[in-house]
Structure 1
Amino acid sequence: MNKNDLLAAKSAICAQLLQLGLGGQVIGKRATFSVASAVASASRNVHAVGIGKKVSTNKKSSEDCVRIYVVQKLPRSLMSPRDVIPESINGIPTDIIEAEPAFAFAKKKPSKAKKPAKPKKKPAALAHATDVAGTTSGTQAPQRPVIGGISAGHRDITAGTLGCFCHSTNPGDDPDQLFALSNNHIFANVNQAILGDPLYQPGPGDGGGFNDYFANLQRYIPISLGGLVSNRVDAAIGSPLSSVPVNPVIDQIGTISGTLTVKEGMKIRKQGRRTGYTEGVVDDADMTVFVGMDRNDTSAVAKFENQFRIVSEDSRPIGLGGDSGSLIVHRTQDKAVGLYFAGPDSGEYGVANPIDFVLQDLEISIP
């Protein structure tokens, strides 16, 4: 099957169904037991469209198709003709997949809520050798030297994950300096931060505060909200303080030696602040998806194009709140393939930016 034909069919579906989903505030929708309510919102049910293998009787086939992700899958017999998605478009098969909408996995600290209680005694920092990954027991604790795969974040959010350390290719930066890589919504609070703002390790939601200041926000890629303008990365870097030691390894994974282009079916792994070390597989390598950027405001939606979807191969969630910013790494090679940034509350799947986009847009290199 010609890839250009797949992409053309995907584009045609996005133009109609994603626009309807945006107008129907699909990010705020959940599956309902009310048949009448489900049927009434059927035309505004789509939150993502991708390209992958068609699923039949809960098993993946070898047939490529355009995959349409809906909040609730309904029998065709209940739907009006205008709401029925064709089984094929210009000869390209379609597949309807029921899945919860994705949210960015972090949130702002409530302005009037109590600050998280700090433990009476902070956990001891873990020591890490350059070529040895650490343990998940310290992912939410202060660690010096600072490494990848652990809690960090802007002072005005809860907490996310510091993905890894990188170098800048921007001519104005020191090429030998290490920078911390994570998401915009982790290090820049969804465009609300000011360059130079303090970043904490661990993040504020894990007790991080004044004494845990480890870096300054160096730069980020702004996220266009509203769902009309496409984004391709949720990414930012921080510049560690000269007084804070860092070690360019990722907890449980080790040193990263380069990058790979993501492919459907690729086996991957990640290390995050919440779920620790998890393994999965790339389920969809070219997805256009609406992502909720603020759980308290369902209108704060961003559209991301050419993303990839990952799923677990066992019963564990592939990622949960606090894992945003994790680096997605090839399962058997120490190569980065993406930057994790969103998923549903269930953790049944995750959404990541292809690493090439992150490197190009932020002007960085790994290692």
Structure 2
Amino acid sequence: MPTTQDFEYLLECRNVIGVDYDEREDKVRVFVSRKLPPETLDDEDDVEKRVHETAVDTTVDVVDAGYDEDRNGYEPLSILEPAPEAVEDRDDRHRPVPAGVSEINANSTAGTGGPYPARIATETGDATEAVWSDAVDLGDFVRLSNNHVYARSNEADFGEPILQPSPHDGGDRDDEVGELVGYVPIADGVRVDVAARSVERDRESASYYGLEEGWPTDVRRDGYDELRGETVTKTGRTTGVTSASIEATSASVTVEFGGEHGSVTLRDQLIAGHMSEGGDSGSPVFLEDGELVGLLFAGSAEQTICNRIGNVERDLGVEILAAEPDEDEGNDGGDERDAPVYTTTFEESLEVDLEGATLDLESITFEDRLRPGTRVAATVVVAASEPGSYWLEIAGERRTVDLEGDEDEARDELRHAVDAAVDVPDDSSDTVGVTIAGGRVE
């Protein structure tokens, strides 16, 4: 079955800046900087003719991006000069700092601070897509925004200050809220425009400015193809809280970053209707029920482009939490840096089969990022209701454990950690299933 990448050749056509294939409808949606009459196009630029050369029955839908001129890509929404003015009081100084207000690298213009808290979930030296400063380590907490917001499109050095509010909004060195500590480099074929800054926990808020107090209710990590037609809402510096419908879920788009990058193609993007302007880059994007689904980074007068938040986590090597972490976790926790990280990115696929009423599964912790074709060490914690001998089977490997103590002993004293390993099949995509079973040995 075709995928969006099978139609990326259309990005070579005149004015084509985005393409998305909908498998359910066998439809290619082509986004153009401006529509032109078919008779004015050369055959090599006529997207419908080109698609039907190899896919006769595939529907072609051409969508105008609203530029009214020939362009090679969408605009990243924080490097515009001059930056539009912010709405309401989002350009004020906010302490503690929430997501959705003015924030950017001290050497740039104006952007938006994004999701917090995000916890580094992969050893920084092992991140396959990202680059990290030596100043951070596994388990540290960071705030996220775009690469072009915090890292100046790969141009920034680690340690460059991030200001809240942005320089355009009057921010200066007294308004520094952190330093650039990590990012995924912008390059053809990447899936994200994301970077991270350091945080001081007591100066940060896990709230999202202008949105409901309980958001995010969850973080969406798979099932994006189901979202076509769903309404999403963002909170950002320039236009505040705005909403639009999702038009594409796996789009390949071209974005004009300028400088040495020129036009860069990013894959696997969400495209929604217009809900952003310059300075909104870095805005978190939610479904109507409060589930965090995207990170906004580019757009036009008709569309808004967002990274899938699941790709943000995977490619940067972080886990976004849906609640404020405990005070003794993370950056300020001293020795807690060396503790394993609970990577709920993968726990959502866990299939747990517990047999017996006297042994409960408390948690499973992966010691490293799960990738296809790897064997990853894990720690499984179980708790018994009373002393005795128990069996535990993890991914087909069975062992027994003896939990001793008094009948009246507290349940905390009957907790046991078991070392295990999980083999991730080569053909795994977004999730991997792990079956765990256990019970009493009579």
TM-score range, shorter chain: 0.7 to 0.9
Q: Which residue identity is paired with 1:327?
A: P
Contact 1:216 1:241 in 2 (8 A): no
TM norm structure 2: 0.61
1:104 aligns with 2:76: yes
Q: Which residue identity is paired with 2:36?
A: L
Aligned to 1:360: 314
SS of match in other structure, 2:311: helix
Residues of 1 paired with 2:81 and 2:155: CA distance? 13
Aligned to 1:66: 28
1:248 corresponds, among 197, 201, 206, to 206
Residues of 2 paired with 1:82 and 1:162: CA distance? 42
Contact 1:108 1:157 in 2 (8 A): no
SS of match in other structure, 2:8: helix
SS of match in other structure, 2:93: coil
> How far off is 1:288 after superposition?
0.6
Residues 124-183 of structure 1, C-alpha deviation per residue, up to 9 Å, x if partnerless? xxxxxxxxxxxx632111100111111101011111110121222134656664311100
SS of match in other structure, 2:94: coil
1:14 aligns with 2:8: yes
> How far off is 1:50 after superposition?
1.0
Aligned to 1:131: none
> How far off is 1:12 after superposition?
4.1
CA 1:72–1:246: 2 relative to 1, 3 Å: closer
> How far off is 1:366 after superposition?
1.6
Residues of 2 paired with 1:234 and 1:256: CA distance? 21
SS of match in other structure, 1:252: coil
> How far off is 1:45 after superposition?
2.2
CA 1:247–1:299: 2 relative to 1, 3 Å: closer
SS of match in other structure, 2:5: helix
Aligned to 1:326: 283
SS of match in other structure, 1:231: coil
Aligned to 2:165: 202
Aligned to 1:217: 180
1:342 aligns with 2:294: no
Within 5 Å, give how 1:41-60 maps onto structure 2.
44-52=14-22
Residues of 1 paired with 2:88 and 2:304: CA distance? 23
User: How many residues are matched?
Assistant: 290
SS of match in other structure, 1:162: coil
1:275 aligns with 2:239: yes
Residues of 1 paired with 2:245 and 2:286: CA distance? 11
CA 1:340–1:180: 2 relative to 1, 3 Å: same
Overall identity of the aligned pairs, in %: 29
2:250 corresponds, among 270, 282, 286, to 286
Q: Which residue identity is paired with 1:247?
A: S
Within 5 Å, give how 1:63-212 maps onto structure 2.
63-84=25-46, 85-86=48-49, 88=52, 89-99=55-65, 100=67, 101-107=73-79, 137-165=88-116, 166-171=118-123, 177-212=140-175
CA 1:174–1:230: 2 relative to 1, 3 Å: closer
Residues 41-85 of structure 1, C-alpha deviation per residue, up to 9 Å, x if partnerless? xxx2211111359xxxxxxxx944101122232333344444433
Contact 1:279 1:331 in 2 (8 A): no
Q: Which residue identity is paired with 1:167?
A: R
CA 1:247–1:72: 2 relative to 1, 3 Å: closer
Residues of 2 paired with 1:324 and 1:232: CA distance? 16
Contact 1:288 1:304 in 2 (8 A): yes
> How far off is 1:354 after superposition?
0.5
Q: Which residue identity is paired with 1:238?
A: R
Q: Which residue identity is paired with 1:252?
A: G
Contact 1:258 1:366 in 2 (8 A): no
C-alpha root-mean-square deviation of aligned residues, in Å?
A: 2.5
CA 1:178–1:73: 2 relative to 1, 3 Å: same
SS of match in other structure, 1:215: strand
Q: Which residue identity is paired with 1:234?
A: D
1:234 aligns with 2:187: no
CA 1:45–1:155: 2 relative to 1, 3 Å: same
SS of match in other structure, 1:51: strand
Contact 2:21 2:27 in 1 (8 A): yes
Residues of 1 paired with 2:167 and 2:45: CA distance? 45
Residues of 2 paired with 1:305 and 1:137: CA distance? 34
SS of match in other structure, 2:228: coil
SS of match in other structure, 1:240: coil
Q: Which residue identity is paired with 1:356?
A: G
User: 5+ residue gaps in structure 1?
Assistant: 22-43, 54-61, 111-115, 117-135, 312-316
> How far off is 1:252 after superposition?
1.5
TM norm structure 1: 0.73
Q: Which residue identity is paired with 2:147?
A: N
* Higher Rg: 2
> How far off is 1:327 after superposition?
0.7
Residues of 1 paired with 2:232 and 2:18: CA distance? 22
Residues of 1 paired with 2:163 and 2:81: CA distance? 14
Residues of 2 paired with 1:298 and 1:337: CA distance? 30
Contact 1:51 1:66 in 2 (8 A): yes
Q: Which residue identity is paired with 1:156?
A: N
Residues 178-230 of structure 1, C-alpha deviation per residue, up to 9 Å, x if partnerless? 31110000000000111111110011111110110110111011101xxxx31
